[in-house]
Amino acid sequence: MRSGWQHPARIVPLAFLCAIAVGTALMMLPAARAEPGHAPFVTALFTAASAVCVTGLAVVDTPTYWSTFGHVLLTVLTQVGGFGIMTLATLLSLLVSRRLRLRGRLLAQAESAGLASGNIGAVLLRVALVMLISESLIAAVLTVRLWVTYDYALGRALWEAVFHAVQAFNNAGFALYSDSIVRFVTDPWICLSLGFGVLAGSIGFPVLFELAREWRSPGCWSTHTWLTVAGTVVFSVLGTLIFLAFEWRNPGTLGPLNVPGKMLAAFTQDVMTRSGGFNSVDLGKANSETVAITIGLMFIGGGSASTAGGIKVTTFLLLAYVIWAEIRGEPDVVIRQRRIAEDTQRQAITVALLGVLLVAAGTVALDALTVDVPFDRALFEATSAFATVGLSTGITPGLPPSAHVVLVILMYVGRVGTIAVGTAIALNTRRRQYRYPEERPLVG
């Protein structure tokens, strides 16, 4: 009999709490700060939580406030958080599949592209290898670019390349530049390397492994892979076009750039908006329409079993199919000739509504704890924290400590909450031996 504390839905939150606690203690060491003395508790807590939850929000200027030792700690905490998130998300699906009926196990194996089969050690090894290879490739490109084009010393170029490669693949978004990557807004080697690193980390390992095997046969893709790939492509194209439309003449964002620069900046910012956390333009100067669209894209997030946050692309698209089936009066939700189980639909609705509730509560809390902060900016920061994106309109450093604690809670719940809730629902699913009389309350 598994004790209460050994339940997977409790192991994940506790593991992340422990990592944040250790990270906070380390970030409070005097050696982690560039200036004499140690960082205040809330500053260290916020930074550690942001790194472990692969968010990237910061209350201080990362390159100047923290020492080299502090930057190394950020890299390690981000790597641990990203590796733990992806493997736990995947391995918890293993635990879920073992508690389901045979058909449920087969579905879980199909949807996770084989990750739900084999031994745990092999799964961890494959995940670690993909992470290491991806980060090494990104770091290699960035090192050469910084060394050759920007005349960085080779050691500095290598260190900054490794730091940003880890941040990109883990979708964290900490940067060693005070303006994030705004200074590289027209550099395709920097922006595209980081952007594709973010995409690789946000698409999810089940999808990556299935694409590696079946990239030539889209018809053989699982429903999960098809939804993730289709959603990623659609949101990338739409997000880029919308950003171009609203910011084309904005002198604070895309206005001063030439046409190729505008295209690159819009694509890069769209990719970062959904999970990456870097910003290649100053979002504090973006138009209100862009801010609103960005909030929506952040809330949706990236792929399941990845470093991305939000409610996830598959959740959003599944709910769209549910709505479409209801409008058409269809008895089943069907995607690519596959009927979607009712319990999966309920899980998607639960995750989405809990996300809305958390963002709303966080926004109200920030609004109540701050003065002279516009509501839309508070909503932006709350969504960014919950979706573990890390983008900011620039108000986070100026918020009071109580508001920083609210953002820490949102980052923590946003990162581990959906995994824990989804696992708890799946593990606690039981077939009743009886059914109550049916009732039909008025809806709408």
Q: What is the pLDDT of residue 85?
A: 56
Residue 363 has pLDDT above 90, yes or no: yes
Residue 155 has pLDDT above 80, yes or no: yes
DSSP structure string for 127-163:
HHHHHHHHHHHHHHHHHHHHHHTS---HHHHHHHHHH
Band (pLDDT 50/70/90 cuts) for residue 219 is: confident
User: Any long-range contacts for 311-317 (C-beta under 8 Å, 24+ apart)?
Assistant: 311/351, 311/352, 311/355, 311/418, 312/351, 312/418, 313/227, 313/228, 313/231, 313/232, 313/235, 314/224, 314/227, 314/228, 314/231, 314/348, 315/348, 315/351, 315/352, 316/231, 316/352, 317/227, 317/230, 317/231
Residue 111 has pLDDT above 70, yes or no: no
Residue 114 has pLDDT above 90, yes or no: no
Closest CA to 169 of 145, 187, 194: 194
Q: What is the pLDDT of residue 297?
A: 92
Q: What percent of the chain has pLDDT over 70?
A: 85
Q: What is the pTM of this model?
A: 0.86
Q: Where are the domains of the chain?
A: 4-427
Three-state SS for 339?
strand
Band (pLDDT 50/70/90 cuts) for residue 215 is: confident
Q: Nearest 5°: phi and psi at 344?
A: -65, -40
- Mean pLDDT of the 140-158 span: 96
Q: What is the pLDDT of residue 15?
A: 78
Beta bridge partners of 208: none
- Mean pLDDT of the 261-276 span: 90
pLDDT higher for 164 or 435? 164
Q: What is the pLDDT of residue 431?
A: 63
pLDDT higher for 31 or 123? 31
Residue 77 has pLDDT above 80, yes or no: yes
Instruction: Write the pLDDT tens digit of every residue in 7-23.
Output: 555 666 777 888 999 99
In whole numbers, what is the pLDDT of the chain averaged over residues? Answer: 85
Residue 234 has pLDDT above 80, yes or no: yes
Band (pLDDT 50/70/90 cuts) for residue 415 is: confident
| Segment holding 434, helix H or strand E | none
- Mean pLDDT of the 139-149 span: 96
Q: What is the pLDDT of residue 421?
A: 57
pLDDT higher for 6 or 139? 139
* Interatomic CA distance for residues 283 and 269, integer angstroms: 10
Band (pLDDT 50/70/90 cuts) for residue 221 is: confident
Residue 288 has pLDDT above 70, yes or no: yes
- Mean pLDDT of the 184-208 span: 91
- Mean pLDDT of the 333-344 span: 87
